[in-house]
Structure 1
């Protein structure tokens, strides 16, 4: 069963790695707001360009926990930002279940911290 989840995660990562989504500018169209720009944080841009969406979603559990669940579990302080950015870079398992999160060794510490700051800003 673990192998199936791992293969599913790898397939999702592979599919999302070839996305051409350009998230530099986003517009909202509604009756009250007419085509106004929304600022997107650096962390959110980095997440959108990475393979994170293969296993994580903003508010729903996929393979790994949702970003909102992570934000609700950890306070936005330097200790947690350093801890979580290290987990992103090195990978790991055991906190959210037995399925391990792969390492993202190509990320810089600053980029990982930006991603974590964005995730922790989603606390409800």
Structure 2
């Protein structure tokens, strides 16, 4: 969890790292924290280049039914079976959907992570203290 904070704080100074690798590392930390699993199963609804190219410690699955968490890159036509799973967005606007726990998105060249406390509570998810500054009441 501390690695996530280090990555975010020094992201501007990491010149040699590929942007997709950095993004994938952040997603991996978030997904592991939400699922509490070392090798979580992730379904990507539509497209997420960073996780598809650098999956890291996650296992990509081909359908929602087998997933521990669903990464949504669009809210259009989400399969009904996905609504029973924890969803995480890739855009701020995804937080409008009450089924989305949180989102990781870029704004003005900086990474942003946001969770809503009541949604985490509804799903009985307790994140590590290192995520406290990303949780909005």
| TM band (smaller chain) | under 0.3
Q: Whose helix fraction is larger, Structure 1's or Structure 2's?
A: 1
- TM-score for the superposition, normalised by structure 1: 0.28
TM-score, normalised via structure 2 length: 0.26
Which structure has the higher relative contact order (CA within 8 Å, separation 6+)?
1
Considering fraction of residues, name the structure with more strand: 2
